[in-house]
Each structure stands twice: as C-alpha cells, then as structure tokens.
Structure 1
Amino acid sequence: MSTKPNMIKEITPLTPNDCFTIFSRVKTEFDFPLHFHEEYELNLILNASGAKRIVGDHISVIDDVELVLVGPNLPHVWLTHECKTEITEITIQWHKDLFDEKFLKRNQMSFIRQMFDKSLRGISFSKESVIAAVPRLQSLKNTNGFNSVLELLSILNDLSMSKSMSLLSDIGFINSNSLKYNSRRLEKAFDFMHTNYDKDISLKDLAKLTNMTDESFSRFIKKRTGNTFINSLNEIRLGHASRMLIDTTHTITEISYSCGFNNISNFNRLFKKKKHCTPKEFRENFSGNRIFV
C-alpha cells in the first residue's frame, strides 16, 4: 500500500508590491520538496546533468542545461538523483496577475498569452532557446526598476516565439477548466472527454457533439492539436491515472479501470510508452522520495 506524498504549498518570497523576484544559487544538491505555488516560475538550471525533474505527472532525467516555465499551482520539484556536480540555478517568479487578462488578449501579446496557457502543463524549452536566454537571465539579476520589467517582458516574448517547446504534464493531470483551445467546438469536445474519460467514448460521439462527420472531426482535432482523437483521449486518461497514483492508495488495477482503461495490460503498455516507467515505478517516484538528499 503506497503512502500519499507530502506536497506543500510554497509561500514564495515575492511581495505584493513587487512585479517579480529573481534569485540565483550555486549548490551541490537539490533539497526542496515537491511543491506548488500561485506564481509563475521560470527556472534556469545549469550543470545539473543526471538530476531528475518532476513537473505535474512528468518525470525526466535532465541534461546539463535546461529552462522550464511552470504555471500557477502546478506541482514541481528537482531531485539530485545522479547529479554529482556543482549546480547553478536562477529562478524568476512573478504574480499570476502581473499581466492583466485584457492586456494579454491584445494582438501583440498573443504569443505570450499562448505560452502562459501552455505553462499550466509546464514547458521545457529547447537547448538552443536556453543558450540564447542564459546571458539575459544572468544579467537580469543586475537590472533594477522599470528596465528590469521591460527586460523580463522581452525575454518572455522571445521565449514565446521559440520553435521548440515541450509540454510536460498530461492534460488530464491539471484543472481542465484552465485550458483554452481558441475553438468552441474543440472546447466542447475536450470538456466532454474530461467529464466522461472513465466511460467508453467513440469518435462518433464527439463528431455528433460538434455537428461534424467522423472524418471531419478526426481531421479537425489532428490539425488543431497535433494529436489524434484516441491519443488525446488516452492522454487525458493517463493524466487522471497519474493524479490518482499520487493522490490515492487505490491499486493500479482499480485506477486503470476507473480511468477508462478496460484492459490492465493495455494501460501498463500505454503508461510506460508515455511516462517511460511503469505505474508502480511512477508511484514510487512520488511516495519514495519525500526525503531529498
């Protein structure tokens, strides 16, 4: 029987009167537990090859250079794991209402708005984007006042136009009400999948819901999301399964069936293909690493 992990809500050092905070550390280990907070966080980590990163339900061993944007209330942690070098970390945190919603809806802010929406799942940027951002993030520490806000906005704008962003956490793991698809039909379809992921759902069901033919809806969801219908549904189900593996002590078989997988072997296969670990190993990553060394 697994124990539930201790996930803490962090009270960040960001004050209500400041736009953002930035702090830099050089250390030999990661020692902060799995946590979440209401602020956005941009985390640059250098020289930490072999460390392990958990964002939402995504677990990965990282390279020597990485930059991750974590949206509000998304659980995350970095673990020392196999890292044996001196680590440099620069963390920037800003209020989730720093940029007003009306401001973000202006045409010129569209790329940043889309990036913020994606950050609810966590974003890992390509090595090329990280290398370009490193000197700017390092110099931001020494920039003050109004110019520091302008520079942060400029950095975020450049990152938002990066060609290679990797979304980390599965859709089903986060609050689906926070997601935006810029399409009423797509929102309707995803709302239906999020609500009924534990039941049998067919392409025909969603096509009928959106007043489209099966073929049209299949092309539509692929074009708008880059994912097929069945892959989208499985991602939602795996996200919910991941959340249950962390938050409950239900057996893996119980979780499999309660998330719409009618075949435990198929669930295990899809889970391992997506997460690169078994459901049992995934659960152990959360329940077995509460003491960080």
Structure 2
Amino acid sequence: MKVQREIVTPGEGQSFRLFSPSLRDHFYWHYHPEYELVYVEATAGIRHVGLHVSSYVESDLVLIGPNIPHLNFDYGLKTEYHQVVVQLKADFLGDALLHTPELSGVERLFARAAFGLSFGGAVKQRVGEELKAMFGLGHFEQLVALLRIFYELADERADVVQLNEEPTGVKSMLTDKIRMSSVYEYIHQRYDNGPDVNEVASQVHLSTAAFCRYFKRQTRMTFTDFVNQYRIGQAKTLLLQGRSVTEVAFDVGLESISYFNKLFRKHEGMNPSDFKKRYRDHFTG
C-alpha cells in the first residue's frame, strides 16, 4: 500500500474545490500540494494526519497543509455521516495574503497548517454549519464565505490543537511516506488479529530493532502503543453501533476484558460502558 498523490481540480469557474466525498470502504492514504479543510459529522472516526493518529466523536474539523499525508476521515465508518471538504492551492488568492493587512491572521493560519490543526468547541460547530451552507451559494458568495471561515479559524481565541510537533509535509521524505503507509495498512489489516512487529519490520526491509527505533522516531510511540490506540479508535465506533463491551473487546483483538477496560479508560478517561451510554444517549436523544 503506497501513499497516493491526489490530483485536485478546482470546480469550473472557481479557485478551489468544494465537495462531499464518500469513501468509507477505502483506505485512502494520500497527499496533495493543496491545503484541505475537512468537516465530518459522524458517531466516531479516525483522525490520521501526518504522524498523528487519534479518534474523534460526533464531528471533526481539521485544516491540513500542503503535502501532508492523511487518511480519509470517513474510513471504516459504519453509521451515517456527512462530510464537507474544501481543497485550495496555496496561491488561490494570488499574493493577496502577503499584501492585505486584513488577511494577516489568515496568512499565519496557513503557515500553522503545516502541522495539521484540529478545531473544537463553538468554532467547530459554527464553521461546520457554514461549510454545509456553502453548497447553496453561487461561486462568488462561496469565495466570500470561505474567506470568512478562514478568518474565524485564524482568531486567536479559537479552540485549536496542533496535531504534529513538526511540519510533516515539507520535511518528510517520500520514502518515509511510502514506508509508513505500508505500516499503517498492515496495522489496519491486522489490529484485530495479533499484529507482529517482526512481520511488519520484515515487510519494510528493516531488522526488528531498527524498525522499533524508526517507528518510535516517526510516531513518538512504541509499535504496541500505536496499535492499541488504533484499537481504541475502532472500539469507539463499534460501541456506538450497539455492540456489547465484551464483543467489542474481542472484535479489536483484546481477549482480556479487564485489560480492554483499563486501556480504554487510559485513552478516553472513562470506561467503555460509560462512553457508550454517554454518546448513544446523545445521538438517540
């Protein structure tokens, strides 16, 4: 599984692309030189941007800089969801960002996007609604709405989390992108069936010791910790589908219920039963 370069074509008569993709059955590990703003509404899903992997619940709003490899945010979703994606070139406004003082905050926002940015709180909900409303606007009105959105996201009061410790697009070599995409695909295929660090090391042509050092350097996690984080992300989706805690533990490859509960609590700050009740009540209420 190699990282794929996506070819982005703006809409006719537009400087950017606005669309609502549906790729839930595809593991689409890809990159492109355009910026990307993603909003997705779903019970739970995987957020995988650069070297960062985590999960989201209810909704997610992420700004991704150029050439940062990322996984489609609807991958593996089994429940209903809605997704809005905007893709735009760095110079979609020409040199306006450099010469328009009113847009200086947006210029700084785009610079920070090299790390991948996840937004929460009120700004996520507000911008999510604005993105959905853009489909009903004309081209000029869409452009104005998009500039307004970026202006909101650039607000220093916005609830934002930087996803990577360093830019993962400019400084990452293509060979690393290809190697890590193979590792991620292996984890996806085997997370529920005893992933073997020796096997994956062999697949990327490294000794086990060299692979462990390489993987820790790339993700700042051990291979085991990374797999367990991925398992918990998948477990959250399964729990919200109505599966029992015992079923979910086995489905994600953890035969010890007590260990599953401990691991889930470590990652989410609550046990699986409480998580299930809290969010299922929210979605069905």
The TM-score normalised by the length of structure 2 is 0.60
2:6 corresponding residue in structure 1: 10
**Gap runs ≥5 in structure 1:** 178-239, 260-266, 285-293
CA distance in structure 2 between the partners assigned to 1:7 and 1:241 by the alignment = 10
Query: How many Å separate the matches in 1 of 2:57 and 2:11?
Result: 32
Percent identical pairs in the alignment equals: 21
2:115 counterpart SS class: coil
Is 2:123 the partner of 1:174? no
Contact kept in structure 1, 2:3 and 2:177, CA below 8 Å: no
Structure 1 counterpart of 2:136, one-letter code: N
Cα distance, 1:90–1:15 mapped onto 2, change above 3 Å: closer
User: How many angstroms apart in 1 are the aligned matches of 2:176 and 2:208?
Assistant: 9
Match of 1:250 in 2: 206
Pair 1:108–1:84, CA change in 2 (3 A): same
Letter in 1 for 2:46: K
8 A contact 1:245–1:252 mirrored in 2: no
SS of equivalent to 1:148: helix
SS at match of 2:67: coil
Distance 1:16 1:252, change over 3 A: farther
Q: Contact 1:50 / 1:82 at 8 angstroms: preserved in 2? A: no
Rate the CA distance shift 1:167–1:256 in 2: closer, same or farther, 3 A. Answer: same
Deviations 1:200-233 (A, max 9, x none): xxxxxxxxxxxxxxxxxxxxxxxxxxxxxxxxxx
Partner Cα distance (1:79, 1:18) in 2:
25
Q: Return the letter of the residue paired with 2:82.
A: T
Corresponding residue for residue 237 of structure 1: none
Aligned residue among 91, 110, 116 for 2:85 = 91
How many Å apart are 1:251 and its aligned residue?
3.8
Corresponding residue of 1:278? 225
Q: Is the 8 A contact 1:29 1:87 kept in 2?
A: no
Offset at 1:141? Answer: 0.8
Residue of structure 1 aligned with 2:120, choices 126, 141, 152:
126
> 2:140 corresponds to which residue?
146
Report 1:8-157 matches (<5 A): 8-14=4-10, 17-25=13-21, 29-31=24-26, 33-46=28-41, 48-78=42-72, 83-101=77-95, 103-104=97-98, 106-157=100-151
Cα pair distance change 1:107/1:176, threshold 3 Å: farther
Q: How many equivalent pairs are there?
A: 206
RMSD between aligned alpha carbons?
3.6
1:163 corresponds to: 158
Question: Which AA in structure 1 matches 2:39?
Answer: L
Partners of 1:52 and 1:79 within 8 A in 2: yes
Amino acid at match of 2:166: I
d(CA) in 2 for partners of 1:60 and 1:12? Answer: 26
* Alpha-carbon offset, residue 31 of structure 1: 2.5
- Alignment partners' CA distance in 1, 2:111 and 2:167: 15
Q: Letter of the aligned partner of 1:40 in structure 2?
A: Y
Please give the secondary structure, in 2, of the residue aligned with 1:89.
strand
CA distance 1:62–1:78, change in 2 (3 Å):
farther
Partner Cα distance (1:70, 1:95) in 2 = 12
How far is the alpha carbon of 1:67 from its aligned partner? 0.7
Amino acid at match of 1:121: F
The answer (yes or no) to whether the contact 1:40–1:72 under 8 Å persists in 2 is yes
